Amino acid sequence: MPPPRTGRGLPWLGLVLSSVCVALGSETQANSTTDALNVLLIIVDDLRPSLGCYGDKLVRSPNIDQLASHSLLFQNAFAQQAVCAPSRVSFLTGRRPDTTRLYDFNSYWRVHAGNFSTIPQYFKENGYVTMSVGKVFHPGISSNHTDDSPYSWSFPPYHPSSEKYENTKTCRGPDGELHANLLCPVDVLDVPEGTLPDKQSTEQAIQLLEKMKTSASPFFLAVGYHKPHIPFRYPKEFQKLYPLENITLAPDPEVPDGLPPVAYNPWMDIRQREDVQALNISVPYGPIPVDFQRKIRQSYFASVSYLDTQVGRLLSALDDLQLANSTIIAFTSDHGRQSMDLVELVSLFPTLAGLAGLQVPPRCPVPSFHVELCREGKNLLKHFRFRDLEEDPYLPGNPRELIAYSQYPRPSDIPQWNSDKPSLKDIKIMGYSIRTIDYRYTVWIGFNPDEFLANFSDIHAGELYFVDSDPLQDHNMYNDSQGGDLFQLLMP
């Protein structure tokens, strides 16, 4: 593994989100367009805070940790819906899923909900060259099969050519044959094209940075990495970092007693892989054999370390090109899990605009389907101001500012084949969830997908966890509480 990047003593500012991870760095506010700051937005697929910078003792992530050490790290940042396409459309437009009306993969917000501006579109309209590499928008109809081109990007987005092999039979099994497995450590020289998508994306991103070095315009470069999303297809040498005997099991591998069935994710996408199918694990509750649990964790961590080296190469190139001191870096995942300050990914849009010195879009009215440019999140700029001694080091927000909202749709009250990813027409229940510093509170309520109407008097189930005494959220206290009353008081 390459050594971690060396620090340059720059006043990086970063931000990291739990289950989602954001690092933001910037030198200072630019004065004029000639010294406008560039933006590098790194989006990682399904990365939870299994990183050294979040206190994980096992995972090796020296490059991301190095970035975080110079950055403002958000300990409690939340995605608005833990599914790729809805999450990305939400934070890239700065609107919640109830506004983008995307809870699945099957519609394009500009025609389905409203013609909402995106972060890159806004930078493009403000004189930036905007570029997309890898998985930034979710591909397919949710970004009109073009990653929202031409609106978001100055030229057509780049996709690595080896992306098409991700879910194909390229994993050598113990039988010597090739399979489409969940666990897929590979010899890179042996795979089709002799490379992997994230390696190609890093190379392309570095080439673009080299081009931008001499550009008169500032740039906004978004780089979307595939790993550690399943399948865990990564260079096999990263497995050596995590000997199986050193891998612990999840601290709470059992399904919690008080978990309402509607809340359970039956991980159907994992079951489809050949190596998992062979285990004949009962649907929906499993369990997964203990040895295989260890192997899954080993490959997840190895994928994170592989991702980390890609991030390291990218950031080293930024340094080498002497662009680091003029580039804001935001690092985030689209989702993951878990939980100082609570922030939401919808705040990325106003915050990046603010950091770059652009006008921060105004707050959205309710409803805001007709408004192209507004923000549902907050400008988090004040979090960066601790560095400026003239400023109040921390402006306490009103209590509502310390709430993060998210949601998740379900097709039925009990787990079934499409519970993880129901299509819009199949959504019958919406889980609305709030996280405060003290608790995680969720109500699962009736939802009408034709009208986009949630019925708060039709409560199917509830969850309440006190995160101080129950950080892993294993003891549901909902039935001991006052039901949905609290939730209604706190809804935005």
Residue 157 tokens read as 């987005």
Q: Which of 272, 326, 423, 481 binds ligand NAG (CB under 6 A)?
A: 326
Three state DSSP letters for the chain: CCCCCCCCCCCCCCCCCCCCCCEEECCCCCCCHHHCCEEEEEEECCCCCCCHHHCCCCCCCHHHHHHHHCCEECCEEECCCCCHHHHHHHHHHCCCHHHHCCCCCCCCHHHHCCCCCCHHHHHHHCCCEEEEEECCCCCCHHHCCCCCCCCCCCCCCECCHHHHHCCCCCEECCCCCEECCCEEEECHHHCHHHCCHHHHHHHHHHHHHHHHCCCCCCEEEEEEECCCCCCEEEEHHHHHHCCHHHCCCCCCCCCCCCCCHHHCCCCHHHHCCHHHHCCCCCCCCCCCCHHHHHHHHHHHHHHHHHHHHHHHHHHHHHHHCCCHHHEEEEEEECCCCCCCCEEEHHHHHHHHHHHCCCCCCCECCCCCCCCCCCECCCCHHHHHHHHCCCCCCCCCCCHHHHCEEEEEEECCCCCCCCCCCCCHHHCCEEEEEEECCCEEEEEEEEEECCCCEEEEEEEEEEEEEECCCCCCCCCCCHHHCCCCHHHHHHCC
Q: Which residue number, 272 or 326, has a Cβ lying nearer to ligand NAG?
A: 326
Q: Which residue number, 214 or 282, has a Cβ lying nearer to ligand NAG?
A: 282
Instruction: Show contacts with ligand NAG in window 369-398 (CB under 6 A).
Output: none
Stretch that binds ligand NAG, among 192-200, 218-226, 290-298, 319-327 (CB under 6 A): 319-327
The answer to the question of residue 151 lying near ligand NAG (CB under 6 A) is yes
- In whole angstroms, the minimum distance from the beta carbon of 107 to ligand NAG comes to 11
- In whole angstroms, the minimum distance from the beta carbon of 7 to ligand NAG comes to 14
**Contact letters for ligand NAG, residues 110-139 (x by CB under 6 A):** xx---x------------------------
Instruction: Show contacts with ligand NAG in window 273-312 (CB under 6 A).
Output: 280, 282
Q: Which of 3, 176, 243, 396 binds ligand NAG (CB under 6 A)?
A: 243
Which of 21, 84, 184, 364 is flagged as catalytic?
84
Residue 188 tokens read as 């890179």
Q: Which residue number, 108 or 447, has a Cβ lying nearer to ligand NAG?
A: 108
Distance CA 254, CA 417 (A): 21
Distance CA 312, CA 78 (A): 24
- In whole angstroms, the minimum distance from the beta carbon of 318 to ligand NAG comes to 11
**Contact letters for ligand NAG, residues 8-47 (x by CB under 6 A):** --------------------x-xx---x------------
- In whole angstroms, the minimum distance from the beta carbon of 238 to ligand NAG comes to 11
Residue 207 tokens read as 């080439």
Which of 53, 70, 138, 159 is flagged as catalytic?
138
- In whole angstroms, the minimum distance from the beta carbon of 189 to ligand NAG comes to 24
Q: Which residue number, 282 or 457, has a Cβ lying nearer to ligand NAG?
A: 282
Instruction: Show contacts with ligand NAG in window 81-110 (CB under 6 A).
Output: 110
335 is catalytic: no
The number of residues that bind ligand NAG (CB under 6 A) is: 17
The answer to the question of residue 144 lying near ligand NAG (CB under 6 A) is yes
Q: Which residue number, 35 or 252, has a Cβ lying nearer to ligand NAG?
A: 35
Stretch that binds ligand NAG, among 240-248, 310-318, 405-413, 452-460 (CB under 6 A): 240-248
Q: Which residue number, 168 or 326, has a Cβ lying nearer to ligand NAG?
A: 326
Residue 200 tokens read as 């190609």
Peptide bond just before 231 cis, omega within 30 deg:
yes
Stretch that binds ligand NAG, among 44-52, 168-176, 257-265, 320-328 (CB under 6 A): 320-328
Query: Considering all CA atoms of the chain, what is the largest pairwise distance in Å, rounded to the nearest integer?
Result: 66
Q: Which residue number, 111 or 389, has a Cβ lying nearer to ligand NAG?
A: 111
The answer to the question of residue 69 lying near ligand NAG (CB under 6 A) is no
Residue 65 tokens read as 């940790």
Q: Which residue number, 13 or 17, has a Cβ lying nearer to ligand NAG?
A: 13
- In whole angstroms, the minimum distance from the beta carbon of 70 to ligand NAG comes to 15
- In whole angstroms, the minimum distance from the beta carbon of 12 to ligand NAG comes to 13
475 is catalytic: no
- In whole angstroms, the minimum distance from the beta carbon of 57 to ligand NAG comes to 10
Question: Hey, what amino acid is at 395?
Answer: L
Closest of 107, 86, 1, 4 to residue 334, by C-alpha:
86
- In whole angstroms, the minimum distance from the beta carbon of 55 to ligand NAG comes to 16
Active site members: 84, 138
Q: By the criterion CB under 6 A, which residues form the site for ligand NAG?
A: 28, 30-31, 35, 110-111, 115, 144, 151, 241, 243, 246, 280, 282, 322, 325-326
